Amino acid sequence: MTNRPVILFAAKPQRWGQYEAPLRAALADAGLGDATLVTEAAPETVDYIVYAPNSDVQDFTPYTRLKAVLNLWAGVEDVVHNTTLRVPLARMVDDGLTEGMVEWVTGHVLRHHLGMDAHIHGQDGVWRAGIVPPLARDRRVGVLGLGALGAACAKALHGLNFDVTGWSRSPKSIDGITTTHGEDGLADTLARSEILVLLLPDTPGTQNILNARTLALMPKRAMIVNPGRGPLIDDNALLAALDSGQIGHATLDVFRTEPLPPEHPFWAHPNVTVTPHIASETRPGSASRVIVENIRRGEAGLPFLHLVDRDLGY
Ligand SMILES: NC(=O)c1ccc[n+]([C@@H]2O[C@H](COP(=O)([O-])OP(=O)(O)OC[C@H]3O[C@@H](n4cnc5c(N)ncnc54)[C@H](OP(=O)(O)O)[C@@H]3O)[C@@H](O)[C@H]2O)c1
């Protein structure tokens, strides 16, 4: 086992300021304090790349001794199809990221469940009493995607007493949650979801999963909350469903083009809430420990954690 792996941090410069100290601390804690952690290195000397897909490194060919690429993001759609990458790719699974997503999702689900807007926007002297929302136990919420984030959100919503159904590619069993998979499972989940949370990755199998046909399967005036990825939704089909009243509201954090262009109709639509891809962020302290654990494993000859399946795309 070598104690001196060379680790290249390849991300936007401001990230280095956030990550350098926690990464060095995590390396020291893992007994890897002798590792070389740099933002520039001769490619043929690099063992690991701590990687943001929007960094300058797009061609991995010169990194001839690379052992793994450790993504700083949970989403890998911008790197997974890079044909120059021939070593294991790990995605980010970070407790801090998960906690943040649970908070954002439960907050936005509760907003729609409780009908908070009627009072937040209704400060006009009209006493709107008597509109009582159902209890959470009588509100049916669907979660598409039961991975690190979707499963945590489904459990938290169940903890608040919501009637939760979750959908994934492979069968799953989660206490208190009705789980489905496959095409029939999707139809069943959509048909019962008064509020639908999208936490799927962006892959060829998930793009446009909400389209004119599938939106029509949902209960009238259903609410959509999308912190997953923009391409999961056919924008024009969603706008048509909002205009017809089939969908009551869409809270969207992610878009096909980011930043969302000022002229995009989502901005002006009265039943759309746009948030600027802030649902959850990787937290440098906890994320650094995840990355270093994978470096420790690589150096010890152990299997890496959180590996991406390049064929499935996530
Ligand atoms: N807005 C933000 O701030 C933000 C922050 C972080 C992440 N995200 C997004 O959240 C996504 C999910 O993250 P994660 O860490 O939870 O991912 P993950 O652990 O890889 O989970 C993905 C889930 O989606 C399911 N899935 C994938 N393809 C499917 C298909 N074709 N049909 C049905 N289910 C499918 C998987 O099913 P199996 O369980 O059967 O594999 C799994 O349950 C990321 O990919 C990213 O796009 C957004």
Amino acid present at 23: L
Give the angle 225-191-105 at the CA atoms, nearest 5°: 20
Closest residue by Cα to residue 210 from 223, 121, 262: 223
With a CB cutoff of 8 Å and minimum separation 6, the contacts of 288 are 19, 22, 23, 25, 26
| d(CA 190, ligand 1 centre) in Å | 17
Task: Please indicate whether residue 256 is annotated as part of the active site.
Answer: no
pLDDT at 213: 98
Q: What is the rounded average pLDDT of the residues 98-111?
A: 98
| pLDDT over 90, % of the chain | 97
pLDDT at 131: 86
| d(CA 202, ligand 1 centre) in Å | 8
pLDDT at 21: 98
CB distance 52 to ligand 1 below 6 Å: no
Element (H, E) at 294: helix 284-300
Residue 217 half-sphere exposure, CB side, CA atoms within 13 Å?
18
pLDDT digits (tens, 9 = 90+) for 128-171: 898 899 999 999 999 999 999 999 999 999 999 999 999 999 99
Closest residue by Cα to residue 163 from 149, 175, 178: 178
pLDDT digits (tens, 9 = 90+) for 231-256: 999 999 999 999 999 999 999 999 99
The atom number, within ligand 1, closest to the CA of 278 reads 3
Q: What is the rounded average pLDDT of the residues 91-97?
A: 97
Q: How far apart are CA 281 and CA 294, in angstroms?
A: 20
| pLDDT over 70, % of the chain | 99
Q: How far apart are CA 6 and CA 226, in angstroms?
A: 38
Q: Which of 80, 92, 144, 169 to mutate to test the pocket of ligand 1 (most atoms within 8 A of CB)?
A: 169
CA distances from residue 202 to 78, 79, 97, 311 in whole angstroms, order as listed: 10, 12, 18, 13
Q: What is the rounded average pLDDT of the residues 44-70?
A: 98
Stretch among 123-132, 189-198, 260-269, 295-304 having the lowest mean pLDDT: 123-132
**In the predicted model, is pLDDT for residue 2 greater than 80?**
no
pLDDT at 60: 98
> What token pair was written down for 123?
């400060």
pLDDT digits (tens, 9 = 90+) for 190-236: 999 999 999 999 999 999 999 999 999 999 999 999 999 999 999 99
Give the angle 160-221-233 at the CA atoms, nearest 5°: 85
pLDDT at 100: 98
Catalytic residue (choose from 15, 229, 289, 296) = 229
Give the other-Cβ count within 10 Å of 18's Cβ.
17
> What token pair was written down for 230?
């923009």
Average confidence score pLDDT of the chain: 97
**In the predicted model, is pLDDT for residue 122 greater than 90?**
no
Which band of pLDDT confidence, cut at 50, 70 and 90, is reported for residue 3?
low
For residue 259, whether the previous peptide bond is cis, meaning omega lies within 30 degrees of 0, is yes
Task: Please indicate whether residue 169 is annotated as part of the active site.
Answer: no
**In the predicted model, is pLDDT for residue 1 greater than 80?**
no
pLDDT digits (tens, 9 = 90+) for 25-49: 999 999 999 999 999 999 999 999 9
Q: Is 158 helix (H, G, I), strand (E, B) or coil?
A: helix
**In the predicted model, is pLDDT for residue 176 greater than 90?**
yes
Catalytic residue (choose from 277, 283, 297, 310) = 277
Helices (H), the chain: 13-29, 95-114, 117-120, 148-159, 182-192, 212-215, 235-244, 265-268, 284-300
Q: How far apart are CA 288 and CA 48, in angstroms?
A: 14
Nearest CA to ligand 1 atom 42: 147
Q: Positive or negative CA dihedral for 141, 145, 150, 156?
A: positive
| d(CA 254, ligand 1 centre) in Å | 14
| d(CA 181, ligand 1 centre) in Å | 14
